[in-house]
Amino acid sequence: MPNDATLLLVDKNVVEQLLVPDDVIAAVREAFKLHGRQAGRVFPVVREKLTTGGVFGIKSGDVSSQNLLGFKAAGFWPSNRSIGGEAHQATVLLFDPATGRPLCVIDGNAITTARTAAAGALGLSLLARQDTAVATVFGTGIQAKAQLGLALRTLPLLKNVYYVSLDREPQADFESLFAGQCILRCATNADEAVAQSDLIITATTGGGPLFDEAALRDGTHLNCVGADTRGKRELAAGVLDRARIVVDDLEQARELGELQWAPHAPAIEMGDLVTGRSRWRREPADISVFDMTGLALQDLTVARLIHHRATELGLGVTASWPW
């Protein structure tokens, strides 16, 4: 047995340095292609509440033709905020599929943020009206910032943005991040903001409906991020009945996403759009929803990108890991 085996450890600072948005979007598109062609497998998701108040999950999968195997262990621990920590925690491990030996341990928080935002951007490029000019963003946290940042890059006419914070109060850090990129307003009335918007981004903890269904006007697209666990939702009853629905994975969306509240609603998978197996043509009055629960394949393709770049540039810490 070899005793000179090593394990690469890549911390958050290195990950953030290596996450180039266009490259992440390309990696996420590749993940959807693999999923659509059934060239990559997504294994059953683990998502369980803990007695500590946290939620622990595992998303795993493989792409045998590309020697890609791994998982992301992740979850949500809201009490972390009281000690100055990040509530979302994630770690990605990549393995050699031939031997089962670990290749790389990567901080997964930045990967999760980046790949989810990239999926949102891909959804906007394929599903939203390209003349979108007004948006409403629910949430002001890391994911809301990432989603809006790529939305402004993806939709060139998007200039006016309402945001709805938890307490309906202005958030200085959120506003400063987008200064000069758009006209940003804190909305005290969510329904009024939604009624004026072409795009809705929901990036909250999924504690319940964020706006009234009647406020949603024809022609609007929704990128929905926060429903990723049984019992979570961000959309009011009736929204999905009016919408054309796209999901990242149909089974997963019906179990964990917005589709758990309307499991029999027709939906297509993003992988089928990316590969051309399904066609999408937006009519002016269409309401569309992209229900994002997050694919293991997204984590793996982005983690592979990080692993390769870190290795090429000599970044990260290499630890002895003998058999």
Q: What is the mean pLDDT of each run of 10 residues along the chain (323 residues)?
A: 85 96 97 96 94 95 97 95 92 97 97 97 97 98 97 98 96 96 97 98 96 98 95 97 97 96 97 95 95 97 98 97 91
Q: Which amino acid is at 160?
A: N
Q: What is the CATH number that goes with domain 6-111+297-320? A: 3.30.1780.10
CA distance 256 to 258: 7
pLDDT value at position 127?
A: 97
pLDDT value at position 3?
A: 72
- Per CATH, 6-111+297-320 and 122-295 having the same topology is answered no
pLDDT value at position 252?
A: 95
Half-sphere exposure of 159 (CA within 13 A, CB side): 2
pLDDT value at position 1?
A: 56
Exposed/middle/buried for 3, CB within 10 Å: 0-12, 13-18, 19+?
A: exposed
pTM equals: 0.94
C-alpha radius of gyration, the chain, whole number: 20
Q: Are 248 and 225 in contact (CB under 8 A)?
A: no
Q: Any idea where the domains of the chain sit in the sequence?
A: 6-111+297-320, 122-295
- Measure CA of the first residue to CA of the last residue in the chain; give whole Å: 6
H helix or E strand, kind and range, residue 222: strand 221-224
Q: How far is CA 99 from the centre of its chain?
A: 31
Give strand pairing partners of 290. 223, 246
Express each pLDDT in 146-203 by its tens digit.
999 999 999 999 999 999 999 999 999 999 999 999 999 999 999 999 999 999 999 9
Classify domain 122-295 at the CATH superfamily level. Answer: NAD(P)-binding Rossmann-like Domain (3.40.50.720)
pLDDT value at position 205?
A: 92
